[in-house]
Each structure stands twice: as structure tokens, then as C-alpha cells.
Amino acid sequence: MSDDFLFADEIPEPEQPEQASSHARWKVLIVDDEAEVHAVTKLALSDFSFQGKNLEFISAFSGAEAKALMQQHPDTAIMLLDVVMETDDAGLQVARYIREELCNTHVRIILRTGQPGQAPERQVIVNYDINDYKSKTELTAQKLFTVVMSSLRSYRDILAIDHSRQGLEKIINASANLFSAHSMEQFIDGVLQQLTSILGCNDDALLVTSSLVAGNPGEDTNPEHLIVFAGMGEFEKKEGEPVTKVLDQPLLDAFYAALKTRSIVYKENYLVAYCTSKFTHGSLLYVSGLPGQITDSQKKLIELFSQNVQIAYENVQLQHEIEDTQREIVYRLSEAVEHRSIETGNHVKRVAFICYDLAKAYGLPEEEAEKLMFASPLHDVGKVGIPDGILNKPMRLDAREWEVMKTHATIGYDILKNSKRAIIQAGAVIARDHHEKWDGSGYPDGKKGEDIHIYGRIAAIADVYDALRHRRCYKSAWPLEKVVALIESESGKQFDPKLVALFKTRVEKLEAILKKYPDSEEDDIR
């Protein structure tokens, strides 16, 4: 061939790295229209190893073939690229395609040419995003070894930086709403990614936590009480599973040792870190694929990380506890209002779940549906301002009494309207609008159609459905067929027609809610 490699007669043996892994390799794409160049390159690098990984060679004999192979192998580490192939600038077009169309900035492109005058080095370096330029005549086996080694180090570092950037992006994106369950998982996933990047290990990592972490775990060190909270690599889809089903016995033993000693257990290629804080304990962090000996600075980082993970988890638990407390207060206060009107039982709880079901069927986002569910128990809070004689009158109200009764919608709105809490604000809207009617004949403001807030429209149909299906001081419980017929007859009058149509398709599920939360054993629905 015309462009032979010139190999030195004696090539000093490079320092042998650790034994190479058989399942992990660095991909090297050789692009040249001469088969002998491929054979010589593979021979010269046949025993090459870097960080325990050998080379995997991929061959392309034209620019077009190189473009197709790069689409199939975006994780290629190095491309040894000839310039002149099917055209005089075929290699340069490949380089431009990779950077500009595939947007692959990771692969290290080493341009090799047997005709330097065809592609002057200065011009090529300036105009094309390549990483090295070599004449084939200057590439001895030793120089080829050197350029591949330096290119792989660059590729490794670029991957580490990009890996770290991705983790940081996840943390930043999660920080805006850190204390919701979803974003906490995203936050932990991002931090795991950061840690594996900093330590230079692979993507297998997970955080497991005790089901008792938010309570008082005491001295319990049973691995059976641990579940996967977040995972990466082979553990990516294991969230929520017990560790006893996810891990093999040697790993379980390491987890048990970390729990028992309340420390970090280092093994040959993985670690298990015990996560604790001054409040609770019960979480473990597992990271595998450690590249070698962990330095003291890395150990300090792991210790700090394990503490911060637990603190972050506890913050989420505390936030959830606060939210649960607020919701329970709303329920109990709402039930107190119902008790005052001699309407004992689970009316407000049933209305809440019915509202949620109808909201999801209507197409409201999960966040809005949940807000409606948690706020709907406040729909009749204004009844605290209605005299007992009117509220609990066992017969039909006269005109004056009915006007007094109608004021409970405005009273409820006035009680809640100035709150800065989203759930209480939603409760104010529901209290005000749930007695408005689609045709404009409702109260307190005579709103019509979609001028009535969707929360009020949904709460209205949920409230009427549940009230009719249960006994009240002034009536007996209605059978289901009669309730459905009445609600259907009020489509376009009292109720939003779209909601009525959805209601008819959801009756079976709504009836299940009524049965799950009955008023009492003596007061079953009919």
C-alpha cells in the first residue's frame, strides 16, 4: 500500500494496567478505504488496555459507511479518520457530519492522512472540530499507542464532566419543588449521578431506606425492613421493592454490616454507606463499580453525602407530615360542621374522593385534582353561621328561613378567602360556587355555565349525589336509580352537562366509594 505505517524496530513495552474487563470496552472506529490500514491498526493496538477495558474495533471503508456506523454507535470513544476516500474531502465531511448533524462532541476524532498537502494541517485544525492531526508516515506503533491513550483519557474526562453536568441539572430542576415525592426521587437520582461521577464508578447505585425511617427505628437492623427508594443502572426500575428481592446474599451481608456498625463498608469494587442524622437513621447508600482504591478525600465526600441524603429525606418526611396534618385538620373541622347539622358519618370524606374521581375523569391535572380533593370538605363550612333551628329543622324551610340558609355559601367564602394557603383558597371557591347552577338560577351570585369555577361544578354534583344516597334529618336515603335519574334530569339546568355525562360512566366506582366510607352500620345506603 502507498501509505505504510513506519514502526520503530524496538518499541518499549508500556506499563501493563490492571486486568481488562471482558464485558466493557472502548469503541474505536477505524475509517479508511484500505483494508491493510485496518489490519495494521488492530495489530498495533491488540493488547491495549485502559482502566481495565480493552478496545473494540469497528471498521468503515468509506465516509458514507462511517456516518452510518456513528449513528449506530454514538458511544464511540475514538475515530481514526482518513481524509481521502471516495472523495478528496470525504473524511472532513465525516468530521463535520459528526459534530454538526449528530451533535456528538464526545468522540475524539484523530485525522490520519497519507497526503498532507491534500488537507493542510493548519487549515483543517481551524475549520474542523477535530482533536488531532497525524500523517500516516509519522504514526509508529508507539506513537499510535500514545495518541490513543491520551485521547481515551480526554474522552473519559469529557464523559465524567457530562455525567456530572447531567446530575447537576437534575438537582437544579428538582430544587424548585424539592419536597414533593416525585422531585425528591429526581433529586436523589441526580445526587447519585453526581457521586458516581465524582468517584469515577459506573452507573449501578441505589438508595434504600427503612419503612420506619420517619418514626423510631430503635435498634432494628433487619434488612427485610429496607426498600429501594431510588436506583440507577441495574436498579433503575426497582423503586419500592424490598432489598431482599433485589440484592444477592453477599450484598445483603454488606448492608447488614453497615446497619449494625453504623458506618461505611468498603468492598473490592463497591461500598455501602450508612446514612444517619441526629434525628433518625435507617437509610443505606450503595455504589458499585469503584475504579480502585478510594482516597481519604473521597471517603470524606461519601460521609458528607450520606449524612446529607438522610437530612434531605427527613425534610421531605417532615414536609409530608405537615401537609398530612393540615389535611386532617380540614377533615376534622369539616366533620365538626356536619356533626352540628346532625349529619354524622363520612360525608365530607366521601365528597372528597368523589370530587377527585370526577376531576380526573374531567381531565384536570393531578395537582388540581388533589387540591380539589383536599379542599372539598370545606364546601359547607359556612353552616357554622346558620342558627340551629334552621340548620336542623326536620321539615321544609319557609321562605325566610331558606334565605338565611343560603347565606352559608357567602359565610364560608368570607371565612376562607383571605388565606394564603392554596388548599384553603380552593376551599373558599368551592364554598362560594357549589350552590351555583349551570342555568344561572343558583346562589349566592347567580353565576351561569363556565362562569362557575370547575371546583364548584364538580363539588356540586358530588355533594348532591352523596346527600341523596344517605339519610338526612329531613329525608330517607334514595335508591341509586332515582339519584341517577334526578342528576341526569338536571343536566344543563343545575349541573354541567359534561360532568353529568362523566358521572353516568363513573357510577360503579362512585358507589364503591360510598360503600368504603359508610356513615354507620345502622345507616347503610339503599
pLDDT band at 2 (very low <50, low <70, confident <90, very high): very low
Q: Phi and psi dihedrals of 500, rounded to 5?
A: -65, -45
- What mean pLDDT do residues 132-152 have? 88
Distant-in-sequence, close-in-space partners of 457: CB < 8 Å, separation ≥ 6: 433, 438, 495, 496, 499
List phi, psi (to 5°) of 231. Answer: -145, 160
Candidates 277, 275, 252, 274; CA nearest to 264 is 274
- Any idea which residues carry the catalytic annotation? 383
Range of the domain at 51: 21-159
Least confident segment among 34-48, 58-72, 115-129, 455-469: 115-129
- Top-confidence residue, 200 or 410: 410
Residue 24 CA to residue 26 CA, distance in Å, equals 7
Least confident of 203-212, 288-297, 305-314, 445-454: 203-212
Rounded average pLDDT over 385-408: 89
C-alpha cell of residue 476: 330517607
**What DSSP line would sit under 16-50, residue for residue?**
P-SPPEEEEEEEEEEE-S-HHHHHHHHHHTTT-EE
93 vs 118, more confident: 93
In this structure, the number of other CB atoms found within 10 A of the CB of residue 360 comes to 18
Is 52 within a domain?
yes
The size of the chain, in residues, is 526
| 217 pLDDT above the threshold of 60 | no
Whether residue 195 is predicted with pLDDT greater than 50 in this model: the reply is yes
Q: Does 1 fall in a domain?
A: no
238-272 per-position pLDDT tens digit: 777 888 888 888 888 888 888 888 888 888 778 88
- Are 407 and 451 in a shared domain? yes
**Mean pLDDT across the chain:** 80
Q: Which CATH number belongs to the domain containing residue 384 in this structure?
A: 1.10.3210.10
Residues 107 and 201 in one domain: no
Grid cell, residue 131, equals: 482533536
Cα–Cα distance for residue pair 309/307, rounded to 1 Å: 5
CATH at residue 266: 3.30.450.40
What is the grid cell recorded at 141?
506503533
185, 217: one domain: yes
Kindly state whether residue 164 falls inside one of the protein's structural domains. no
Q: Are residues 135 and 229 in the same domain?
A: no
CA–CA distance, 262 with 266 (Å, rounded to integer): 13
- Answer yes or no: are the C-beta atoms of 241 and 223 closer than 8 Å: no
Same domain, 382 and 420: yes
**Cα separation, 311 vs 430, whole angstroms:** 37
Q: Which of 43-57, 167-181, 190-204 has the lowest mean pLDDT?
A: 167-181
Q: Evaluate whether 357 touches 403 at the Cβ level (below 8 Å).
A: no
pLDDT at position 114: 75
The answer to whether residue 166 sits within a structural domain is: no
> Can you give the pLDDT at residue 29?
96
Q: Is 518 exposed, middle or buried (0-12, 13-18, 19+ CB in 10 A)?
A: middle
pLDDT of residue 526: 53
pLDDT for 206: 64
Secondary element (H or E) of residue 264: strand 264-266
CB 382 within 8 A of CB 409: yes
| pTM for this model (two decimals) | 0.49
Residue type, 112: R
14 within domain boundaries: no
Residue 294 has pLDDT above 70, yes or no: yes
- Whether residue 265 is found in the same domain as residue 208: yes
Q: Higher model confidence: residue 36 or residue 185?
A: 36
Reported confidence tier of residue 297, pLDDT bands at 50, 70, 90: low
User: Distance (Å, rounded) from C-alpha 406 to C-alpha 389?
Assistant: 14
C-alpha to C-alpha distance for 465 and 145, rounded to whole angstroms: 79
What pLDDT does residue 128 have? 86
Distance (Å, whole) CA 258 – CA 283 = 10
Q: How confident is the model at residue 181 (pLDDT cuts 50, 70, 90)?
A: very low
Q: Are residues 149 and 183 in the same domain?
A: no
* In a domain? residue 165: no
Inter-residue contact 402 to 386 (CB < 8 Å): no
Q: For residue 126, what are the β-bridge partners?
A: none
Instruction: Judge if 216 and 113 occupy the same domain.
Output: no
CA 29, CA 107: separation in Å to the nearest integer?
Answer: 10
Domain end residue (candidates: 303, 318, 333) = 318
Say what the pLDDT of residue 192 is: 67
Asked whether residue 5 is domain-assigned, the answer is no
Domain identity same for 201 and 141: no
Asked if residue 484 and residue 349 are part of one domain, the reply reads: yes
Same domain, 195 and 314: yes
Boundary-marking domain end, from 318, 351, 380: 318
Question: Which pLDDT score, from 0 to 100, does residue 10 have?
Answer: 38
The Cα 282–Cα 310 span in angstroms is 9
Where residue 119 sits, what CATH number does that domain have? 3.40.50.2300
The per-residue pLDDT for 261 is 83
- Counting the structural domains of the chain, the total is 3
**In this structure, what DSSP letter does residue 295 have?**
P
Q: At which residue does the C-alpha cell 509519522 appear?
A: 138
Name residue 411's amino acid: I
Same domain, 192 and 154: no
In a domain, 6, yes or no: no
